[in-house]
Structure 1
Amino acid sequence: MFRHVLSLALPVSLIALLGACGNGQEVEAPPRPAMVVQPQPAGASLDTFAGEVRARLEPELAFRIGGKVAKRLVDVGERVKKDQPLAELDPQDVRLQLEAVRAQVAAAEANLQLASAERDRYRTLLERQLVSRSHFDNAENSYRSAAAQLKQIQAQYDVARNQATYAVLRASEDGVIATRRIEVGQVVAAGQTVFTLAADGEREVVISLPEQALDRYRIGQDVTVQLWSHLQQRYPGRIRELSPAADPQSRTFAARVAFQDADVPADLGQSARVFIRNAEDVPLAVPLSAVSAEGGQPFVWVVAPKTATLERRPVRLGAYGERQVPVLEGLREHEWVVAAGVHVLREGQKVRPVDRDNRLVELAAGE
């Protein structure tokens, strides 16, 4: 009996279903869930920049004379002491120059002795009135000229003697060789940088700031620094220096961040991250996953509170942070923004807004 009733019920249900499909009515797809967030105050977001630990003082060392490199005594990464020899030039040329000037000094001394004897002889003859006053004055002038010439050549000799010592390049202070730009046999000019010395003492973090956001940063601004070797801790710092010119290749501005604590365990070459809070100029921020772009124009999907449909909203963004990006124009604080899956959405699509815990969001509550 049950089988008979079931066999009669199945055709009836199939007929009803086919009748519903054939009446011309389109079955509406259910709203898809969309995780939404509200823009957060920018004070809750940080601009993050990757950096490198460097020495505060990094003098560029160079020979004071030109010549051919005969010896290179240190390499990159070696620790050196003040006045330690770093490299030597071929001393042959400076030695020859020193010998030439020394010979000139000897000649000038002999000339001065001759002029002195001549003056003394004319002085004796003048006292006996055997020569005129003008002859004695000529002898006196010759003596003074010879004395001045000797003084000049002695100064040249001192310069040549100093230059002989300039053939050896020495460290200006204690530190570590950061860069090396010479090899043995290379000919260098006077003043050409051959080593960069990372002097012992304070350490800083060098970062690059984007030119479109440079006006948000200033010297003395407080920041926090995180070292990759100590990820569990952040150290206070401040912007000590801002470059006045952009790098010609990256078009970014170099900035140096000084630690406020002298005991920070920062070593040369370590990687670091610098966090800069900018609550004054940037009003809101959204997650990076909420932003999409088309044709170079960034936009976000805003959920209309009354209809729960999507609206494509162009925005103007600031410098990207680690997890968030500041929104300079295009959003208001009470609006809801889709925070995930933005690449599969379309204009006017109806959604079911949920939070990160998959709980339904009352959009009107945020107005």
Structure 2
Amino acid sequence: MPPRLPLQLPRRRFRSALLGLTAALMATLTGPAHSQQAPPVRVTKAETAPIIREVQLTGTVTSPKVARVSTSVGGLVETMRVDSGDRVEAGMPLLKLDRKLEKLQLRQERAAVAEAEEQLADARRRLSEARRLVRNQNIPESEVRSREAEVRIEQAALERLRARAEHQAERVARHSVDAPFNGVVSRKLTAAGEWVDPGTAVVELVAMDGLRLDFQAPQGYYPRIDAGAPIRVRLESVPDNPLDGRVAATIPVSDPEARTFTVRVHMNREEVPITPGMSASATLPLETGRRGVVVPRDALLRYPDGRKTVWVVEKDGDGHVAREHKVQTGLSFDGRVEIRSGLEAGARVVTRGNEALQEGQRVRLVGSNRAASD
């Protein structure tokens, strides 16, 4: 049977145990273990860099070719070969018009050509006979000249009839409307059985190759945007995947009401799933021509009363302490913030773990940016 523990320690032993516990607690608070309780923070150095102004733009995906394909002759739609959404290649028939009467007219014109060819051949034969007879002085010289003129007249008549036949053949061919380029039929504007007049649009065709983006920019930025400038684009189809692009051209025609001009952008990736008419946004970086102190955006804390602060880590003996600096900010760009006042370049600012720091609190540096403390 185990011995019973005393219900009460003697007063001297109790006081000794209490003093030992207190000493152990003080050693815990002041020893190496206490330093491990300092909150971990990640820091980086504030640096001097060129200040960039980021201009936010909105725009639309556009196609380099959009055509309302029309007929050059009138007629009854016999066959409609495409529908909205169909992809077509250049030269592919889109529709055919009834051309039966036009074909009959072409047969008449070709028959007239054949008749004129026979008449010309007969005129040439009679001219050849006249030239042979004139050498024997059996007919006068004037008869030869008359038959030469007859040959020229028949020749001209034949050329005229051939031109008419070619014209009619072209009319027959134009009763078939073909795609002028590769693209997608965005709208079908007629159907079989309808009558169309010359110039009537039958389909709307949109090219899907070489799509570009057109953004509207405030006219004040026109002199500062150059062709080839980089631009960051976000598309409606991939909103979480910003893409790199290049300014292809600035179109120097301002909208008099909106006071904007067009910035045309070409994408660097052809496989991006985009279609004409899709909305897009872009960030265009423009140099301001000045330099200043910048810190990562995560280093800045904003308060409801409008204050903006940055926590700075300073060396304190063999450790580090946090100090809060009230700052005035400028432009934000590329994940960084310009600091107009309240901070100098080279200061070690906290980018992680700064949400609950207190003035003068000891901190422990962690993470890949710990080298900023060196």
Say yes or no: TM over 0.5. Answer: yes
Distance 2:289 2:108 in 1: 69
Is 2:72 the counterpart of 1:65? Answer: yes
Distance 2:222 2:201 in 1: 30
Aligned partner of 2:207 among 192, 199, 211: 199
The residue type equivalent to 1:133 in the other structure is: E
Shift, 1:143, TM fit: 0.8
- TM alignment of 1:24-173, pairs within 5 A: 43-55=51-63, 57-58=64-65, 60=67, 62-63=69-70, 65-68=72-75, 70=77, 71-92=79-100, 94-95=102-103, 97-173=105-181
Shift, 1:204, TM fit: 1.9
Shift, 1:215, TM fit: 3.3
CA contact (8 A) 1:58 1:196 kept: no
TM-score, normalised by the number of residues in structure 1: 0.57
SS in 2 for 1:220: coil
Distance 2:110 2:206 in 1: 39
Shift, 1:249, TM fit: 7.8
Aligned partner of 1:259 among 258, 264, 267: 267
Distance 2:163 2:66 in 1: 30
Shift, 1:137, TM fit: 1.8
CA contact (8 A) 1:52 1:206 kept: yes
CA contact (8 A) 1:80 1:176 kept: yes
SS in 2 for 1:95: helix
Aligned partner of 1:187 among 184, 196, 199: 196
Distance 2:253 2:76 in 1: 34
Structure 2 unaligned runs (5+)?
1-48, 293-301, 311-323, 329-339, 344-374
Corresponding position of 1:291: none
RMSD after superposition: 3.9
* Structure of greater Rg: 2
Distance 1:194 1:64 in 2: 7
Judging by fraction of residues, say which structure has more strand.
2
Shift, 1:139, TM fit: 0.7
Shift, 1:120, TM fit: 2.8
Is 2:363 the counterpart of 1:354? Answer: no
Distance 1:167 1:281 in 2: 62
Distance 1:244 1:122 in 2: 74
- TM alignment of 1:5-16, pairs within 5 A: none
Distance 2:278 2:146 in 1: 74
Shift, 1:258, TM fit: 0.8
CA contact (8 A) 1:353 1:360 kept: no
Distance 2:111 2:151 in 1: 20
CA contact (8 A) 2:73 2:171 kept: no
Corresponding position of 1:214: 222
CA contact (8 A) 1:45 1:277 kept: yes
Change (3 A) 1:206 1:360: same
Paired residues, what number? 260
Change (3 A) 1:360 1:229: same
